[in-house]
Amino acid sequence: MRRKRIGLLIPSPNVVAEPELGRRLPDNVSLHTARMYWTRGGEAEMLDRYLPDALRDLASLHPDVVIFACTTAGALRGNASEQALIRSIEEATGAPAISVLAESIAALRRIGARHVGVLTPYPEEDNHHIAAALGEAGVDVVAIDGLRLPGVASPELTADDLIPFGRHVLTGKRFDAVFIACTNLFTIDALPAFEAAFGAPVVSTLAAAREAALRALAQPAAPDTVALSS
């Protein structure tokens, strides 16, 4: 029996999602990446111009589940648009698809978080979209701030960078959980350190996506019957 395959869609500058997810998968699961070219046109151009080619390439390996791993692109046009995006990925690849933002919101719901502090590496405009997506889903964002790094090309930030920043943002705020948003941040191993530092449960986009993908793979593997479009 072949290994089950996770297809990963990431912005082209992302250097974290592959190693962060790849080393934390069971032996019978493999990770395969397609990159969506990211330019100064930002997430909108990435979705409209470069996602179709990435989907074509990813479909050719017949994935069993696909992770759309760009938080800001998921938030860009609202939650209904993100759901439509997920459906379009499923149609193109023949596999169930998950979006890191939608799965993060689902993870916050599972732990009963209603009031959430949000930490990102993003500038204000991206944070606005993420806060709007959370609010639309019924999550009260008590604080959100980012390191204001341009676009998705953030450096390989770790807990040593994020914990002092998070303490600054969250001081004096009342929250049930903390959401760390971005697939270009190393977070999974550091979740216990984040939770100890912030005194609350912490959800990160990559951790939520990993758990969702593994749940999806508990189902039978997809057959190699995807029809490729020209």
pLDDT in tens, 139-164: 999 999 988 765 445 566 778 889 99
Strand order in the sheet with 202-204: 140-146, 115-120, 177-180, 202-204
- In contact, 12 and 153? CB cutoff 8 Å: no
Residue range 77-95, pLDDT digits in tens: 889 999 999 999 999 999 9
> Does the pLDDT value for residue 42 go beyond 90?
no
Q: What is the DSSP letter of 167?
A: H
If one compares 51 and 161, the residue with the highest pLDDT of the two is 51
Measured distance between the N- and C-terminal CA atoms of the chain, rounded to whole angstroms: 29
SS3 196: helix
Strand partners, 36: 11
- In contact, 156 and 186? CB cutoff 8 Å: yes
> Does the pLDDT value for residue 36 go beyond 60?
yes
Angle at 134 between CA 65 and CA 169, to 5 degrees: 115
Packing angle, helices 79-93 and 100-110, rounded to 10: 120
C-beta neighbour count of 44 within 10 angstroms: 11
Chain Cα centroid distance, residue 116: 17
Q: How confident is the model at residue 39 (pLDDT cuts 50, 70, 90)?
A: confident
Q: Which domains does the chain show, CATH number per domain?
A: 4-101+209-216 (3.40.50.12500), 102-204 (3.40.50.1860)
